Amino acid sequence: MADTTFWTCPPDLEVRGHGDDYTLTLLLPPFPAGTVNFSPHDPKEARHFAENFDTVDEILEELPPASAADSLALETRSDLEIIKVGCWGNVISITDPSLADNIGDCPLLGASNTLRERYPDARIVGSADVHLGGDHTEDTIQLPDGVMLHAEGWLGVEPLEVTGDPQAVVRALAISSEALAQEAIDLDEEPDEIDWRALGRLALGPCDPWGRADLRMSVFRVRHTRGSTLRMEESWFFNQ
């Protein structure tokens, strides 16, 4: 295994705090509205996607596959090197701890913008958070026609910074008022009162893979890029 030389802290250093979500999902056309039968996971395509992902410098090791219902346990620094990628036909998903930060770099938005260039026809939905004394969240929805939203900030500490047009996203996806009500989403509330992650689930609809034990994913230990590694050190260890 290659040396993860970008880290300046030891692999057994304990992670302080935790994250519940650091995911990006691409839904490629066609966009189904009814019941979806996911295609079998494609490990070769998953590896290709991981090798070309914004935050990844190199794949160091392929680990046994896991399901989309399995959470990544973040206990030590070495756990931050683990990512999962699922490729099920027109649905591609990745969970990567480097997508979460608490220093305002917005890595989720950066990665989704790169994917937008590679997959201009995709619907892209992402969510990431870090809990270190407070809750820092980042969420994004990007649609093929350029309609998007991005929300980022510290919950309950400062107003979330929202860019784009959430109402336009809802209209473009034809999300009903009943569906919003079921998720307790009221877009007239203050931004830090809105469950942006739940809106992302509605954007994916039946193609939301997360939490499904029947969907397999490839698991990789990676060397993240230098910038991603330094940001993770700042977010998960030094900025406490």
The answer to whether the beta carbons of residues 183 and 199 sit under 8 Å apart is yes
Residue ranges for the chain with pLDDT beneath 70? 1-4, 238-240
* Predicted pLDDT of residue 18: 77
Parallel, antiparallel, or unpaired for β 22-27 and 91-95? antiparallel
Phi and psi for 43 in degrees, rounded to 5? -60, -35
35-57 b/e (C-beta count within 10 Å ≥ 16 → b): ebebeebbbebbbebbeebbbbb
Q: Whose structure tokens read 């942006």?
A: 196
* Predicted pLDDT of residue 73: 85
Q: Whose structure tokens read 């893979």?
A: 209
* Predicted pLDDT of residue 72: 84
Q: pLDDT digit string (tens) for 99-126? A: 998 888 999 999 999 999 999 999 999 9
Token pair of 103, please? Answer: 């220093």
Q: pLDDT digit string (tens) for 181-204? A: 999 999 999 999 999 999 999 999
Phi and psi for 224 in degrees, rounded to 5? -75, 165
